[in-house]
Amino acid sequence: MPESVADLGEFGLIGAVTARYPQGSGVILGPGDDAAVIAAPDGRMVVTTDMLVEGRHFRRDWSSAYDVGRKAAAQNLSDVAAMGARPTAVTVAMGAPKDLDSAWALELADGLRDECEQVGASVIGGDTVSAETIILAVSAFGDLDGREPVLRSGARPGDVLAVCGRLGWAEAGLRVLSRGFTSPRVLVQAHRRPEVPYDAGPEAADVGASAMCDVSDGLLADAGHIAECSGVRISVHSGSLEIPEPMREVGAALGEDPLQWVLAGGDDNALLATFPAELRLPERWRVIGSVVEGAGVDVDGEPHVGRAGHTHFS
C-alpha cells in the first residue's frame, strides 16, 4: 500500500472508491475521462455542494476517517433529500497534507462509499490537491423523479411544522467530547456520524409538504430560513420536542439545559418541513410547531433568548 496520500496520485482517492466498487444505475460514465456522465430521467437535476474543514467541522482525534467520510457524504445527500429528490451521485474534492497516511484517505473513501450506498448513489469523480490541513468539498446530485422540488419559500400561515429525524444529539455528543469524555457512546456517535432519514424527503414531497430544509445549522436557525424565504413566522412548541434520557443525563452532569441543544444544535441533518394542517402526515413525521402571520421564529410564542444555531462567520 502507498505510504502517504501523495503516493496515491491525483486519481487515487476517487479511484480507491470506484476501482473496487460498482457504479449505480444512474451513472452512464464514471471516472476516467475529464468528466462523468449522469442519467437524468426526470430531465432536471438537483445539485448541492458543502465543505468540511479539519478543526472546524471535525477533529481527527475525535472522529475516524471512516466517520468523516460518512459525515461528508451525509451533509450533502441530506440537502438533496430536503428538496424532495432522490440522491444519485457525488463528487469529492480533497485537500490534504502530502504526508497524510494513505490508510486514512482510503478509510475516508470507504465512509463516503458506504453512506452513498444507503441511497443508491455513486462516487463519480473529484480531485486531490496538497493543502496544509484536510479540506473536503463534496457535491451531490439528485433526481426529482417527476416531483416538483420542495422549496423553503412555500410555507403559509395555518401550516404545521414537522420534523423527521433526531435533534440535538450531535450537539450533545460535541459537548461530551469537548469535556474529554467518550460516553454516552450513542451521543458521541451522533456527532461523528449523522443518521439521516433520506427517504423521508421524497415521502414528504409526495404527501404535499409546502416547504422543507434539512437541520444542519440548528432547529431555530433552519426554521428561520423557511420563515424568511416564505415571509411568515414560525412558532416552535417546546413541549413537542423530544429529549432522550441520555441527553437529559449529560445535561444534568454538565449543568446545561438539553432543550437548548435541541433548539440550536446542528449536524443531525434531520428533515424539517411545513405541511397544510389538513394533511395526514406519515407516522414518523412529528408536529413540533405552527406557521402564523408575521416574521421570524419564536418558541412557545416568545422570542428565543440565546444562540439560535450555527453561523459560519461569527
Residues 6+ apart with CB under 8 A from 181: none
pLDDT of amino acid 20: 47
Residue ranges of domains in the chain: 5-143, 160-299
> Residue 207: which of 273, 120, 292 has the closest Cα?
273
Reported as a single tens digit per residue, the pLDDT across 222-271 is: 999 999 999 999 999 999 999 999 999 999 999 999 999 999 999 999 99
**Can you say how many angstroms the Cα of residue 54 is from the centroid of all Cα atoms in its chain?**
17
What is the chain's length?
A: 314
Query: How remote is the C-alpha of 189 from its chain's centroid?
Result: 15
User: Measuring CA to CA, how many Å separate 85 from each of 69, 145, 157, 243?
Assistant: 22, 7, 25, 29
One-character DSSP codes across 56-102:
TTB-TTTS-HHHHHHHHHHHHHHHHHHTT-EEEEEEEEEEE-TTSBH
Residues marked as binding for ATP?
126-127, 152, 216
Q: What are the tens digits of pLDDT across the range 157-174? A: 999 999 999 999 999 999
Amino acid symbol at 137: A
pLDDT of residue 6: 72
Residues of the chain below pLDDT 50:
11, 20
Q: Which residues are annotated as a binding site?
A: 34, 48-50, 57, 79, 126-127, 152, 214, 216-217, 267
* Structural fold of domain 160-299: Phosphoribosyl-aminoimidazole Synthetase; Chain A, domain 2 (3.90.650)
Pairing outcome for strands 86-96 and 135-143: antiparallel
Q: What is the pLDDT of residue 26?
A: 78
CATH of 5-143, one of 3.30.1330.10, 3.30.70.1430, 1.10.10.10, 3.90.1150.10: 3.30.1330.10
Feature table: binding site for Mg(2+): 34, 48-50, 79, 127, 214, 217
pTM over 0.85: yes
* DSSP 8-state secondary structure symbol assigned to residue 16: H
